[in-house]
Amino acid sequence: MRRTLRIVLPPLLVVGLLGVVWEVYARVGNLGDELLPPLSRVLSAGWDDRASLWASTQPTLREVLLGFAVSMVFAFAISILLDASGLARRSVMPVLIGSQTIPLVVLAPLVVIWFGFGLTPKILLVALVTFFPIVVGLLDGYASSERDAVTLLRTMGASWPTVFRLVRLPSALPGFFTGLRIAITYAVVAAIFAEYAGAETGLGVYIQGADNSFRTDLVLAAVLVTAVLTLALYAATFIVQRLTIPWYTDARKVNQ
């Protein structure tokens, strides 16, 4: 309980302080609800519109999670290939890095043109954005395998797939979670971008609609929801990590 408080309290204080600054600035400056409504108005407007906001959050969350699932499957597959072959690593890595330089603004409408207004373009965009940090995290993790551990299994007569399964893959899991955390902070934004480019539901559509009717308070309310969603997903990676590789956190605690 004390520990939870110690983790949760400082960021809450910072957020609260920012909220106060926002509130005061908007009220004192009297900027008008269209330009910058005070935080209290954003919160109450969001609360009043909670049903519609929640209905918009669900599809976005679904896109994020599905996009992530696709991204992870591909990331694992590609990373195994790249770990197995130096030639594959040297030839494919530049392409992967290049794929990260395409701006989302350009890509989002293109994906909609190619795949329509359905779920597919959103999943693709989320996967594309989140895939790279996960691959890098995995590759880094494989490389962190202890050399003696690999040699030991080799002397036991283990084949490459066995060495991979028994040493390289488990060694890579901490790196995988690091990559996952970086990726997850991009994921929600990517989904909203994809919705912006063309969709029927989702937070992106909600924001667009609010924007078009000059409801800045609702736009900002949706932005707050986005932030909370990303934070929740980020926190979830720690929980999943704790469940999948409990030895990692425990061993680090002991060694400190």
Partner 1 sequence: MSTSAIDVRGLRKAFGDLQVLDDLSLHVERGEFVSILGPSGCGKSTILSVLNGTEPADSGELLLDGEPLNRMQSPFAWMPQHDVLFPWRTVEQNVALGGEVAGGLSKREALAQARALLPTFGLDEFGATRPYQLSGGMRQRAAFARTVAQGRDILLLDEPFGALDALTRTELQLWLEQIWGRERWTVVLITHDVREAVLLSDRVYVLGPRATGITLELEIPLPRPRSLELLGNADAAALERELLQALHAGRTA
66 binding partner 1? (CB under 8 A)? no
Tell me if residue 79 falls in helix, strand or coil.
helix
Dig out the tokens for 114 from the structure. Answer: 């190619």
Shortest Å distance, C-beta 157 to partner 1: 6
- Quick count: other Cβ atoms within 10 Å of Cβ 211? 14
Q: Which of 30, 155, 212, 256 binds partner 1 (CB under 8 A)?
A: 155
Tokens of 9: 């309290």
Does position 157 interact with partner 1 (CB under 8 A)? The reply is yes
Q: Is residue 111 within 8 Å of 124, Cβ to Cβ?
A: yes
* Binding residue (CB under 8 A) for partner 1 from 75, 153, 183, 210: 153
143 binding partner 1? (CB under 8 A): no
- Contact stretch for partner 1 (CB under 8 A) within 67-75, 106-114, 161-169, 192-200: 161-169
CB 166 within 8 A of CB 181: no
Q: How far is the CB of 251 from partner 1 (least distance, A)?
A: 4
| Distance between CA atoms of residues 202 and 214, nearest Å | 18
Q: Any contact of residue 19 with partner 1 (CB under 8 A)? A: no
**Does residue 65 belong to the site contacting partner 1 (CB under 8 A)?**
no
Interface positions, 165-204, toward partner 1 (CB under 8 A): 166-167, 170
Residue with tokens 């918009």: 56
Closest contact distance (angstroms) between CB of 88 and partner 1 is: 25
86 counts as binding partner 1 under rule CB under 8 A = no
CA distance 125 to 109: 10
To which residue do tokens 């704790």 refer? 242
Structure tokens at 56: 């918009």
The residues that touch partner 1, with contacts defined as CB under 8 A, are 146, 148-149, 151-158, 162, 166-167, 170, 245, 247-248, 250-251, 254-255
